[in-house]
Amino acid sequence: MTATTVEGAVQTEVVRAPRPAPARIPFSRIVTVELRKSFDTRSGFWLMASIGILAVIATGATILFAPDDQLTYDNFAAAIGFPMAVVLPVIAVLSVTSEWSQRTGLTSFTLVPHRGRVIGAKLAVTVGVGVASMLLAAAIGALGNLLGSTIAGTDTVWDVSALELAYIVLANVLGMLIGFMLGVLLRNSAAAIVGYFVISFVLVPLSMLLAQSQAWFEKAQPWVDFNFAQGYLFNGDMSGQHWAQIGVTSLFWLIIPMTIGLWSVLRSEVK
């Protein structure tokens, strides 16, 4: 095929007044924009609101249905903890995958042409939302504990220390990071959410069964099963070895897949 090229006569160029080169977009600005993006749709707003709503419902249910002697802060925390473990990772997944499922990445990644910075900002927002949500949930649980024991006429039992609370917050943030990792790796909302539930709720009993029947796996389990290692955080029972087990399992379940996911996000085509 021959290309017909016509040599252009040089035209008088109209030149715009030169402007100073703009400053690089600061990371903090990308973070605030990403935070805004997690609230500015109806679905995003209600997902965030559901954190508070579910915490109130779980607290109310504990006051109504738990026996009087079970109205301890530990039980309130456990009741609130379950919906948090479901909702927070979904928030983390959607913050990443919506750029692909809604195709907003076309704009996001042209306004900020470094995908790592956008993903990094999303990560910062995810961790921030996780910590803030857990503190809110803890506060709602504390109010419930006060209210519940007052209604029941029992002594208010504070059986969760600040350190134990911090462990629980960390455990939930780790759960969110698993969701975030799946979002980055799969870049598909449904697949990542299903993947999260498989890891958190399907693998757990399977791993337990295997540990019961195979002695070798029982020994290996704390070093390979992320959920199992995370369990120590919920029990508030953290030894050096437990931290090491969390570190080792995080490496395989979180850091390596996250690295693969980031690598592919940086190289993939955004359509």
Partner 1 sequence: MIKVDSLTKRYGAFTAVDDVSFTARPGRVTGFLGPNGAGKSTSMRVMVGLTPATSGYAEVSARRFADLPNPGLEVGVLLDASAQHAGRTGREILTIAQRTMGLPAGRVDEMLERVSLTPTESGRRVRNYSLGMRQRLGIATALLGDPEVLILDEPANGLDPAGIRWMRDLLRGYADQGGTVLLSSHLLHEIEVIADDLVVIGNGRIVAQGTKAELLASAGTLVRTRDVPTLSRALVDADVEFSPMTDALRVEADPDVVGQVALRAGVALTELRAADGAGLEEMFLELTADTQREGVAA
User: Contact residues for partner 1 (CB under 8 A)?
Assistant: 1, 3-9, 11, 13-16, 21-25, 29-30, 32-33, 36-37, 40-44, 98, 102-107, 109-114, 267, 269-271
Query: How far from 23 is each of 20, 26, 110, 130, CA to CA, in Å?
Result: 9, 8, 16, 31
Q: Which is nearer to partner 1, 5 or 239 (CB)?
A: 5
Q: Which is nearer to partner 1, 110 or 239 (CB)?
A: 110
Q: Which is nearer to partner 1, 35 or 147 (CB)?
A: 35
CA distance 150 to 154: 7
Three-state DSSP state, 183: helix
Task: Identify which of 160, 180, 158, 156 has the alpha carbon closest to the alpha carbon of residue 168.
Answer: 160
Where helices occur in 102-157 by DSSP H, the ranges are: 105-111, 115-152
Write out the two tokens for 102. Answer: 């809604």
Q: Which is nearer to partner 1, 23 or 215 (CB)?
A: 23
Three-state DSSP state, 136: helix
Report, in Å, the least distance between residue 87 CB and partner 1.
18
End-to-end CA distance of the chain: 30
Write out the two tokens for 104. Answer: 């907003």
Q: Which is nearer to partner 1, 111 or 255 (CB)?
A: 111
Report, in Å, the least distance between residue 99 CB and partner 1.
9
Write out the two tokens for 138. Answer: 């803890």
Report, in Å, the least distance between residue 125 CB and partner 1.
14
CA distance 142 to 79: 12
Q: Which is nearer to partner 1, 34 or 225 (CB)?
A: 34
Report, in Å, the least distance between residue 192 CB and partner 1.
17
Report, in Å, the least distance between residue 90 CB and partner 1.
16
- Residue 68 DSSP label: G
Write out the two tokens for 5. Answer: 């090229």
Report, in Å, the least distance between residue 155 CB and partner 1.
48
